[in-house]
Amino acid sequence: MGVLAFLKGKFQKKQPDQYDRGLSKSRASFGDKLAELAKRYKTVNSDYFEELEQILVEADVGVALSLRLIEKLLDKSKKEKINDPSAINEELIDMMFVDYVSKGEDIENEIRFAKGGPTVLLVVGVNGVGKTTTIAKLAYRYGKRGKKCMFVAADTFRAGAVEQLKVWASRLEVPIVCGKAAADPASVAYDGALYAKEHGIDLCIVDTAGRLQNKSALMDELVKTKRVLSRAIPGAPHETFLVVDATTGQNGVEQASAFKDCTDLSGVVITKMDGTSKGGIILSIRDEIGVPVRFIGLGEKMDDLEEFDLDKYLHGLLLGGSK
């Protein structure tokens, strides 16, 4: 059974969920276009594959991955004499699925909590991607599960970032550790880690600066921050999440690549997926850096941060609703 048939069977009786609603714009520019393309051609030819490639690129699947998928489809079409456009499209979905899961081992999307002490989550990403809101949503998510959370405002070079985090800390009623303006980020992170140990915190979320203008300085800063965190809490940071704004398209992919060079990422959080028509960015980032998407933002509400589910994602991108 192909992936498309599997998705139709798996979700045939369910009502539209957050994935289907949040991916409606992306579905219109990808899934709907695939279906429309198949209706216009009785049999595949070079023009069909050119249009198919264009759809993939415009959906932000990424040029390299798009070309590789088209090359595989052309080869399979010739070898197995597959000429039906719908069959080719189904083969494409199978390849997209396999390509994503083959980039690494199966991952548990939920944060993996350390035993016998605080779990430290380092959050990285450029300014404006929704990093602060994502931190708040993660604290809200795990607070509802009985975890004692806190914030560490280690983005000391941007006063707005500290103030925003203070506002969220107040709303969520979680403790926050801040430093003085322009204080050394690593020292703030260290103080935060000590606070977490002394106050029985389950999840210590550390915000960091997102200045990519000088990548070597960013790398030095992150390396230092990680080093002092590990001194305060052995094994810290236990997780490092990169936050990427889906609406930035290939710029987001470039950001992911740059941060991957700077630090060991354990996961990606995609924000504002409901605001983009280019939902293929998830496939592109996975292809580019090999790091799994752990959570996906599908709305502005606090509980709109969903655990990433590849089946739901592909269904929302291709079919939607209860089709």
Position 198 scores a pLDDT of 96
pTM: 0.92
Average pLDDT over all residues of the chain? 89
Structure-derived torsion over alpha carbons of residues 253, 261, 102, 303, reported in degrees to the nearest 10 = -60
What mean pLDDT do residues 211-219 have?
69
Is the model's pLDDT at 288 over the cut of 60?
yes
What mean pLDDT do residues 182-208 have?
94
Position 323 scores a pLDDT of 42
Which residues does 70 contact at the CB level (< 8 Å), separation at least 6?
A: 49, 52, 53, 56
Structure-derived torsion over alpha carbons of residues 86, 89, 94, 95, reported in degrees to the nearest 10 = 150
Is the model's pLDDT at 257 over the cut of 80?
yes
Could you read off the pLDDT of 30-88 as tens digits, one per residue? 999 999 999 999 999 999 999 999 999 999 998 999 999 999 999 999 999 999 999 99
